[in-house]
Amino acid sequence: MAIDYQGRVVGSVSWYWECEQTRWLEAGIVIYDSSVWSQGVGRTALVDWISHIFATVEVERVGMTTWSGNPRMIKSAESIGLKIEGVIRKVRYYQGVYYDSVKMGVLRDEWEAL
């Protein structure tokens, strides 16, 4: 789903089954337009998206994976209630540096309590 900001598409949100049989769902977000970074656009879209997922899909947890090279994403996700659930160390190689994969998630009852 596209993220519209002031009449233009600046990114998108998505979700997919990591394992549909066990109802393991992962969400994602990308903001293509760097001019809107750090303005709360992604945070607002992620709140709306996670709320939509819990309202329309029978799952107890929404997960998301990012990397340690994106501290703004980690901070934004934590600010809306996602918790770091695990870190897979040095599995992402980018421009000569290894980064961690950061697994985050929120449970339905945690989300509803916010």
Q: What is the CATH number of the domain that holds 37?
A: 3.40.630.30
Question: At which residue do the structure tokens 């819990």 appear?
Answer: 54
Whether the CB-CB separation of 103 and 63 falls below 8 Å is answered with yes
Give the domain extent around 23.
2-113
DSSP H/E element including 77:
helix 71-79
- What's the pTM value of the predicted model, to 2 decimals? 0.93
Task: Give residue 114's identity as a one-letter amino acid code.
Answer: L
Number of domains in the chain: 1
Residue 40 zone, left/alpha/beta (φ > 0; ψ -120 to 50; rest): left
Give the mean pLDDT of the chain. Answer: 97
Whether the CB-CB separation of 59 and 51 falls below 8 Å is answered with no
pLDDT of residue 100: 98
- Give the Cβ contact number of residue 50 at 10 Å: 24
| Span 33-84, pLDDT tens digits | 999 999 999 999 999 999 999 999 999 999 999 999 999 999 999 999 999 9
| Alpha carbon distance 4, 82 (integer Å) | 23
